[in-house]
Amino acid sequence: MVKSISENELNSLWRDFGKNMNLVAIMTVLTVVTGITGIIALIFLFMALGNIKMINYRLNSQYLDDFRAKYIKSFILKVVLIPFLVAGILLLVLPIAFIYPEMGYFPVYWIYILIGVILLVVTFILFIVSYSIEMKAWENLKLFLKQNHLMFPGYISREAIEGAEKLRTGALLYVLGFLGITIIIGFILQVMGFFKLAKFETIYKPMDPTKPIIPQTPILPQGMVTPVAPISQAQPSPNVEENRIVGVRHRFCPNCGAELKDEGKYCPDCGSSIS
């Protein structure tokens, strides 16, 4: 069942999604220095997924639903692999640390080592599967943005599509993390992707009421001269109602001055509301 929601509420949810993604990006960057901020970034990321859930009540998009479901599934697999990793390392390292020449026979210690190796192999498989699912999640978000790009201002659509692609590529590079350098490149792409998705924060952002609006005079095409009334023409009396020309009037954005081609509510260039 699709929940009824106004356009303003929908835009507000997209802005909240952008704000949360911006915080995810900042906290992810700070993880390099502090480490602990990675947990905070994860919290804001799930808040962003909550925004997507609310948005999809109105849009009912299979792409958004798959994006959210696959990302959560990927996260669960990453959590599951942690105990496998810890147990595998312990079973692999501890028996070796306590082996003595006279006690290093196969029936006892080497079984523990074998189980540890098996657990580490399972961990590696879960690691690859989890990031493969995350790649599909970002691909679904990218497909939604490409299919519905007219729903947003052009600059937001372009940045968001590019951001989803960078996050998908970053997940791929994490899968290839055994090469070493790919983890660093994947991390950089991940941060860039989060910042690009944060552009939703500016969608139809209300103008600052304290900022004066300066009307911009439209520029006439080259060769055209502004018509001037002849000097001999009598000026209308203040008591006489002014004659008005009925015809097509050009409309311009009060914020950026761009000419408006249709009767839309928002400027196609800067996204400002047209009152």
The total number of structural domains in the chain stands at 1
Residue 141: partners with Cβ closer than 8 Å, 6 or more residues away: 63, 64, 67, 164
Domain-located, residue 93: yes
Domain-located, residue 172: no
Domain-located, residue 191: no
Residue 5, pLDDT score: 63
Please state, in angstroms and rounded to a whole number, the distance separating the CA atoms of residues 272 and 206: 7
CA dihedral over 89, 92, 95, 101, signed as positive or negative: negative
| Residue type at 77 in one-letter notation | L
Domain-located, residue 44: no
Domain-located, residue 119: yes
Residues 21-55: tens digit of each pLDDT: 999 999 999 988 877 888 999 999 999 999 999 99
pTM for the full predicted model: 0.68
- Domain region containing 139: 62-147
Domain-located, residue 205: no
List the single range of 15-19, 85-89, 142-146, 168-172 with lowest mean pLDDT.
Answer: 85-89
| 222 band by pLDDT with thresholds 50, 70 and 90 | low
Residue 55, pLDDT score: 93
Domain-located, residue 190: no
Residue 1, pLDDT score: 45
Domain-located, residue 198: no
